[in-house]
Amino acid sequence: MIDVEHLCKDYGTFRALDDVTFHVDRGEVVGFLGPNGAGKTTTMRILTGYMPPSEGRARVAGFDVFEDSLAVRKRIGYLPESVPLYGEMSVRAYLDYMASLRRVPERRKAIWRAMEACHIEDRADSLIGKLSKGLRQRVGLAQAILHDPEVLILDEPTIGLDPKQIIEVRELIRELGAEHTVILSTHILPEVSQTCSRVLIIHNGRIAAEGRPEDLIARLQGAEYVHVRIGSAPADAHAVLSEVEGVVEVQPQGEGSYHVICAPSTDKRPQLARAVVERGWDLLELRTGGMSLEDIFLRLTTDEAPTPPSPAADRRGGGRAPAPTAARPRYQRRDASRPRYQRRDASRPGTAGEGEEPPPQQGRARPRRKGPHPDPPPRQTAGEGEEPAPRLLRDPAADRRGGRRGPTLSRDKAARHAVESQVAL
């Protein structure tokens, strides 16, 4: 049904997909697993005709996704990660609009069939914007199966849902998988183990593993594990379990528990149970263990990087770590030994010499001096028969050049004083 051969996709100098090859049979539900940024969504977009590949070929139902894009789209139902819904439309009106775009014959029957399959027929006249996220996901699935496609491609169908809504969507996908070929792209491992019959694990744009979950476990695990727990275990329990044929190693776990490692592809639980019961010991627990789908996923998608030596290892002589490079500060502190403000030298050009008027300053005014101010000069008073000297405004330039700012007269008082002086004359 789906054939992908040596698929590559480049975004500039970055290669998102690198030689991806896989096959999906009719009626399969395949889980497309991978961490964020592994290339899942890019593969989905190429299969749905949203974008062309840089290299390689992909066929759906025998049609090339690039050369026969319209024929492929007729046979694919696509649910993207962000469902394109119109909140102001009702469920029935939205599905009718999508059916008209796809030119579905007998639209009323197709709409009702899709709503029944997704269990939203009682919400046909509800506004999409008023629905919960789980119901909106169901509406998105309804538009994906509206034209009865042969292939369903679902990109993160349960993202952002609560546990109850996740269970409902999983059951719906399981029902749809009975009549359609389904590719489920996700990074939620329980979702894959409960709904998919086969797993594709992609990492850094390449297929890292492919097969049924139990086959992957058997291939990567390399041994079988059995957990045995004995009540009031005697001291020779370890030796008794080790004597069972096919047992490779017995690891005590404390409190009568033992981790028994057996040869691969063998089930030693009956022999282990018989060895415990024949000696009159209480067998409290006997269960198989081993790698889970999560363990396989982490092993295949985790890049092991060299661990830098710790400071403790350096002190023990395990090698000297490189000295950290000091980051350049964004703002540098002023040197405290350097005065913040300096007097200008009279010998330098642009400065006023002795007896000369200093040039006007430009820019920010010089700050006032700190410290105690000098005492003001004694106030001169007029003698007998003398006219008192008029009080004038101080020169603003003198104030800007520094020094104590003395009392000044307001403009109206200065004008009145000048008039009184002229009248007196």
Instruction: Convert the pLDDT of each residue in 233-270 to its tens digit.
Output: 778 888 888 888 888 888 888 888 888 888 766 777 88
> According to the model, what pLDDT value does residue 162 have?
77
> According to the model, what pLDDT value does residue 148 have?
87
> According to the model, what pLDDT value does residue 386 have?
62
Question: For residue 416, is it within any domain?
Answer: no
Same domain, yes or no: 54 and 176 = yes
Q: Are 50 and 105 in contact (CB under 8 A)?
A: no
Q: To the nearest 10°, report the CA torsion of 265, 270, 272, 276.
A: 180
CB count in 10 Å sphere of residue 16? 18
Q: Are 205 and 18 in contact (CB under 8 A)?
A: yes
When mean pLDDT is compared across 32-46, 97-111, 185-199, 211-225, the lowest value belongs to 211-225
Question: For residue 384, is it within any domain?
Answer: no
Same domain, yes or no: 114 and 227 = no
Q: Are 33 and 199 in contact (CB under 8 A)?
A: yes
Q: Please report where in the chains the tokens 């964004």 appear, as a residue.
A: 330
Same domain, yes or no: 199 and 277 = no
Q: Which span out of 119-133, 166-180, 213-227, 388-402 was modeled with the highest average pLDDT? A: 119-133
When mean pLDDT is compared across 137-141, 281-285, 338-342, the lowest value belongs to 338-342
Same domain, yes or no: 201 and 237 = no
- Does residue 215 or residue 271 have the better pLDDT? 271
Same domain, yes or no: 99 and 130 = yes
Q: Provide the sign of the torsion angle of the four alpha carbons 313, 315, 321, 326, taken in this order.
A: positive
End of a domain among 282, 299, 316?
A: 299
Same domain, yes or no: 90 and 175 = yes
SS3 content of the chain, % helix, strand, coil (to 5): 30, 20, 45
| pLDDT value at 317 more than 50 | no
> According to the model, what pLDDT value does residue 297 have?
72
SS3 label, residue 18? strand
Q: Are 268 and 260 in contact (CB under 8 A)?
A: yes
End of a domain among 299, 334, 351?
A: 299
Same domain, yes or no: 66 and 113 = yes
Structural domain containing residue 265? 222-299
Q: Which span out of 49-58, 292-301, 319-328 was modeled with the highest average pLDDT? A: 49-58
Same domain, yes or no: 191 and 232 = no
Q: How many CA atoms lie within 13 A of 279 on its CB side?
A: 19
Of 181, 167, 179, nearest to 137 (Cα)? 167
Same domain, yes or no: 195 and 67 = yes
Question: For residue 311, is it within any domain?
Answer: no
Q: Given the DSSP bridges, would you call strands 2-11 and 14-24 parallel, antiparallel or unpaired?
A: antiparallel
> According to the model, what pLDDT value does residue 322 have?
45
Question: For residue 160, is it within any domain?
Answer: yes
> According to the model, what pLDDT value does residue 304 have?
44
CB count in 10 Å sphere of residue 355? 5
| % residues pLDDT > 70 (the chain) | 67
Interacting residues of 280 by C-beta distance below 8 A, sequence separation 6+: none
Question: For residue 415, is it within any domain?
Answer: no
> According to the model, what pLDDT value does residue 33 have?
85
Of 408, 398, 400, nearest to 368 (Cα)? 400
H helix or E strand, kind and range, residue 171: helix 163-176
Sheet containing 198-203, strands listed edge to edge, beginning at the edge strand earlier in sequence? 76-79, 151-155, 181-186, 29-33, 198-203, 206-211
Report angle CA 29, 30, 36 to the nearest 5 degrees: 135
Q: Please report where in the chains the tokens 């609560």 appear, as a residue.
A: 162
Interacting residues of 198 by C-beta distance below 8 A, sequence separation 6+: 28, 29, 30, 31, 210, 211, 212
- Cα separation, 152 vs 1, in Å, equals 11
Question: For residue 413, is it within any domain?
Answer: no
Same domain, yes or no: 50 and 121 = yes
Of 99, 198, 90, 80, nearest to 137 (Cα)? 80
H helix or E strand, kind and range, residue 274: helix 269-277
Band of the pLDDT at 311, cuts 50, 70, 90? very low
| CATH for 205 | 3.40.50.300
Same domain, yes or no: 51 and 190 = yes
| CATH for 233 | 3.30.70.100
Q: How far is CA 405 from the centre of its chain?
A: 63
Residue 309 in tokens: 């030596």
- Report the residue count for the chain: 425
Residue 300 in tokens: 């295949």
Q: Which span out of 88-97, 194-203, 237-246, 341-350 was modeled with the highest average pLDDT? A: 88-97
Band of the pLDDT at 318, cuts 50, 70, 90? very low
Question: For residue 282, is it within any domain?
Answer: yes
377 secondary structure, DSSP code: P
Of 89, 91, 112, 111, nearest to 102 (Cα)? 111
Same domain, yes or no: 231 and 207 = no
Interacting residues of 284 by C-beta distance below 8 A, sequence separation 6+: 229, 230, 231, 256
Mean pLDDT score across all residues of the chain: 76
Question: For residue 257, is it within any domain?
Answer: yes
End of a domain among 165, 195, 216?
A: 216
Query: Domain total for the chain?
Result: 2
- Decide: pTM greater than 0.85: no
